[in-house]
Amino acid sequence: MSGAVISSVSPTTPAHEAGLLVGDTIVSINGIPPTDVIEYQRLTDGEQVRLLIQREGEPLSRQIDISKDAGRPLGITIESAVFDRIRTCDNHCTFCFIYQLPKGMRRSLYVKDDDYRLSFLYGNYTTLTRFTEFDLERVANEGLSPLYVSIHTTNPSLRADMLRNPRGATSLRWLSALLDLGIDVHGQVVLCPDVNDGAELERTLADTLSLYSQLRTLSVVPIGVSDFSAESTMRPLTTSEAAATVDTIERWALVADDAIGRPLFYASDELYLLAGRTPPAVTSEDIVDLIENGVGLTATFIESFEDRVPMNSLGTGFFQSVDGAPAEGYRAPRTLGSSESSSVMREELCILTGEYGAPTIRGLLAAAAIEAHVGIVRNEFFGGNIKVAGLMTGPDIARTIESLGIDAYTYILPDVCLSEGRFLDGSTPEELPGSVKVIPTSGLALREYLEEWRSDRSKRP
């Protein structure tokens, strides 16, 4: 166990008043060594909290007693959400994007987790191949809901093959157990052509409706294939395959709506865009939990732009509601302070986005009669069929700016492609050529910035 290391202490809080310091390690809470931030929150929820602290440079631990109102947070942030060892993934999925990353990127990008605690905290998908009876008991007792489960297929032998793990054939029994206990679960299918599509997808949707109808949702997303993939059997879906898949999902959604009173099945926006169709609006309250999986993101962005309403920018999972849980590594802050490569503002604006997002942005600008250019950043860093804005990298953005003209525009960049102020390749917006302004990834933020720009430009002599 690495221990619960304190990374920040807020002023005028019980922790600050008790003298806790950054760098202190919490050895135990009320005599119990906490294993993760979920347990930490439960143990510190009461009026009396006894901490055993190991302070750096001190040979002996010290005891700190804190009295506070029940339910009031201590006011600290922990360095890691898991204090023991993160349960890493022992699958070797043929479609896993981590295996498709080039060498030399940040170490954290190569960590595969299959930990139900991170599923609850951050919305990470778990295959349940490392889930245990003890885990089930804890999930039920502490109400760790919702969870996110990678199903991929309900065909046991095919699931074992896709995960390259024999436990893949049997681990969906835990899904049944979770649903029987009333735990909300969102399921996912990563669709791979010639593997789990077509008749196999029909089987998965039919089995889901008959065996796992208590699922909150089952969303289907297409496989992402980069140029670094070593899997000869993995390829992107064609336009016709994507269209057929959307038709299948929509047909089964109607069946589910008739059978259980809700659609249950959702195709990701990427499938619609690949099929040459406009992604539909999703009215279900579950959309908040599916946006980061690419379901309803386009419609939500459009609504945010047109109706001037904020978007959920925290993503899925409940780390934001768990006292002390850090975002780093899973939902880290997009930017660290202001992200601008230049203070010089040009006469014209250009919004940079991926190939999938460009048509939507252009349509919004035209409807709102706002003059701005849209620059498509083609992903040559990963290659393959990678076309989403969230995977734009510094070299590709720099190349796009140079091709459009370094001095031609002020370039607007969505922060979805950043984590702690860095692109996936490790570069920063400050290293980009020309004038670049990073804004939050929401329709409202884009609308407000464009209108502010237009107003400022009208005042210029």
Q: What is the pLDDT of residue 346?
A: 75
- pLDDT per residue as tens digits for the range 71-119: 999 999 998 888 888 888 999 998 998 888 888 777 777 778 899 999 9
- pLDDT per residue as tens digits for the range 163-191: 999 999 999 999 999 999 999 999 999 99
Q: What is the pLDDT of residue 337?
A: 63
**Interstrand relation of 217-222 and 265-267 (parallel, antiparallel or unpaired):** parallel
Architecture in CATH for domain 4-78: Roll (2.30)
C-alpha span between 444 and 313 (Å, rounded):
12
Instruction: Please check the confidence at residue 57 and state whether its pLDDT lies above 70.
Output: yes
Q: What is the pLDDT of residue 454?
A: 82
Give mean pLDDT, residues 378-396.
Answer: 94
- Residue 319's pLDDT band, with cuts at 50, 70 and 90, is low
Q: What is the pLDDT of residue 127?
A: 97
Q: Where are the domains of the chain?
A: 4-78, 97-321, 349-459
**Most confident listed range (111-120, 129-138, 343-352):** 129-138
- Residue 460's pLDDT band, with cuts at 50, 70 and 90, is low
Q: Tell which residue, 112, 109, 101, 381, has the closest CA to residue 229.
A: 101
Instruction: Please check the confidence at residue 151 and state whether its pLDDT lies above 80.
Output: yes
C-alpha span between 282 and 287 (Å, rounded):
7
The strand ranges marked E within 385-434 are: 410-414
Element (H, E) at 339: none
Question: Cα–Cα distances in Å, from 304 out to 280, 397, 439, 441?
Answer: 15, 25, 14, 10
Coil/strand/helix, residue 150: strand
- pLDDT per residue as tens digits for the range 206-238: 999 999 999 999 999 999 999 998 888 899 999
Instruction: Please check the confidence at residue 154 and state whether its pLDDT lies above 70.
Output: yes
Q: Give the neighbor-by-neighbor strand order of the sheet with 185-191.
A: 147-150, 185-191, 217-222, 265-267
Write down the H helix ranges in 133-220: 133-142, 156-163, 173-180, 199-211
- pLDDT per residue as tens digits for the range 266-305: 999 999 999 999 999 877 777 777 888 889 889 999 999 9
**Interstrand relation of 265-267 and 435-439 (parallel, antiparallel or unpaired):** unpaired
Instruction: Please check the confidence at residue 461 and state whether its pLDDT lies above 50.
Output: yes
Instruction: Please check the confidence at residue 338 and state whether its pLDDT lies above 60.
Output: no
- Residue 453's pLDDT band, with cuts at 50, 70 and 90, is confident
The proportion of the chain whose per-residue pLDDT surpasses 90, expressed as a percent, equals 72
Least confident of 39-48, 99-108, 119-128: 99-108
- Let me know: does 263 contact 287? Beta carbons within 8 Å: no
Instruction: Please check the confidence at residue 42 and state whether its pLDDT lies above 60.
Output: yes
Instruction: Please check the confidence at residue 329 and state whether its pLDDT lies above 70.
Output: no
Q: What is the pLDDT of residue 314?
A: 45
Q: What is the pLDDT of residue 445?
A: 93
Q: What is the pLDDT of residue 316?
A: 58
Give mean pLDDT, residues 446-451.
Answer: 93
Mean pLDDT of the chain: 90
Contacts of 301 (CB under 8 A, 6+ apart): 311, 360, 442, 443
CATH code, 97-321? 3.20.20
DSSP 107: G
C-alpha span between 21 and 9 (Å, rounded):
7
Q: What DSSP string describes 18-69? A: HT--TT-EEEEETTB---BHHHHHHHTSSSEEEEEEE-TT-SS-EEEEEE--
For residues 333, 336, 337 and 339, what is the CA-based torsion angle, rounded to 10 degrees?
A: -110
**Most confident listed range (2-6, 344-348, 401-405):** 401-405
Least confident of 4-8, 85-89, 148-152, 340-344: 340-344
Q: What DSSP string describes 252-300? A: HHHHHHHHHSS--EEE-HHHHHHTT-PPPP--STTHHHHGGGTSSHHHH
